[in-house]
Structure 1
Amino acid sequence: MSTRLLDPAVPVEAHAGERLAGAPVIWLGTVAPDGRPHTVPVWFTWDDPKVTIFSRPDTAKVGHLRAHAAVSVALDTAEEGTDVVTGSGKAVLTELARVERALDAFGRKYAPVLGEQPLDAWLMTFSLPIVVTLDRLVAWRSTSAGLEYRSLPSAG
């Protein structure tokens, strides 16, 4: 089990965790072999410190990950750009049998969007799990009390 990044007792960290759990899309950044950045929106689940994504196996992001596991992630900003969550870590391409817990959470999260389409049918296309283990998370938001900022893990 990986060490959690967020402490739910710290307001800015609890807020970041809520956003990560509920946001429909996270932006995944990979690096092409020529060094060019490649960023795409993806559906995901969050289980601190892991982001699990399901992809078509033939996408550019998967090709990039086969060569270079380092990635970045970012949620869309909220509150007119004053509520930000970004992170970085390493991605692993894995098998469906290894992500059953994330798959269950994914099915619950996206059931309203999938409508009548069963998750099993959706997985026939998006069959490759990508598990990103974040080793860094940065969150900040503006509140009536001022700026709340966290860079995790924190030094010391």
Structure 2
Amino acid sequence: MSDNIHDFEDLIRDSQFAWFTTVRADGQPQPTPVWFIWDGATFVIYSQPQAQKVRNLRANPKVALSFAGDDEGEEYLVVMGHAAIDAQAPAPKDNAAYMAKYSAGIANIDMTPDSFNATFSLAIRITPMRVRGE
């Protein structure tokens, strides 16, 4: 077991998605699969501005990102942190790291960088506070 996020750089780099968990006003956890990038200090995801996860994090910024590295559950990472809307982050289509990772995925969901940018226009930055994983 490790509590150092940098021990999991390979898992983070190789993961195509993570489960982003926010908490609804009624206390119900709401996990959502998300695409993300990691800059070595924070994660960035993009969302539709009206999404439930956005309403949730505005009320309660405590969130978790969960990664599974294998089907047996022997390699995993849970990142607990704080999420905030990041008005300074580049738009998805202007985020070179994001587009390098997800341009094929964007095409696979029948979107263009421009249509993805228009739909998923809200950047959310997650700052890790604690981690646990194997």
2:118 equivalent to 1:124: yes
**Identity level (%):** 28
Please say if residues 6 and 48 of structure 1, whose CA atoms lie closer than 8 Å, have aligned partners that are also in contact. Answer: no
Please say if residues 38 and 61 of structure 1, whose CA atoms lie closer than 8 Å, have aligned partners that are also in contact. Answer: yes
3-state SS of 1:106 partner: helix
- 1:33 maps to which of 25, 28, 35: 25
Per-residue CA distance 1:26-62 (angstroms, 9 max, x = gap): 0011111111111110111111221100000111100
The number of residue pairs the alignment matches comes to: 127
1:100 is aligned to 90
CA-CA distance at 1:130 after TM superposition: 0.4
1:137 is aligned to 131
CA-CA distance at 1:117 after TM superposition: 4.3
Per-residue CA distance 1:66-112 (angstroms, 9 max, x = gap): 111000110134151111111100001122xx223982211110012
2:34 equivalent to 1:42: yes
Larger radius of gyration: 1
Over aligned residue pairs, what C-alpha RMSD do you find?
A: 1.9
- Structure 2: runs of 5 or more not aligned: none
> 1:57–1:101: structure 2 CA closer, same or farther, 3 Å change rule?
closer
Q: Please say which of residues 18-27 and 114-123 is displaced more in the overlay.
A: 114-123
Q: TM-score, normalised by structure 1?
A: 0.74
Query: d(CA) in 1 for partners of 2:117 and 2:16?
Result: 17
- Structure 2 counterparts to residues 3-152 of structure 1, below 5 A: 6-7=5-6, 13=7, 16-95=8-87, 98-100=88-90, 103-115=95-107, 117-140=111-134
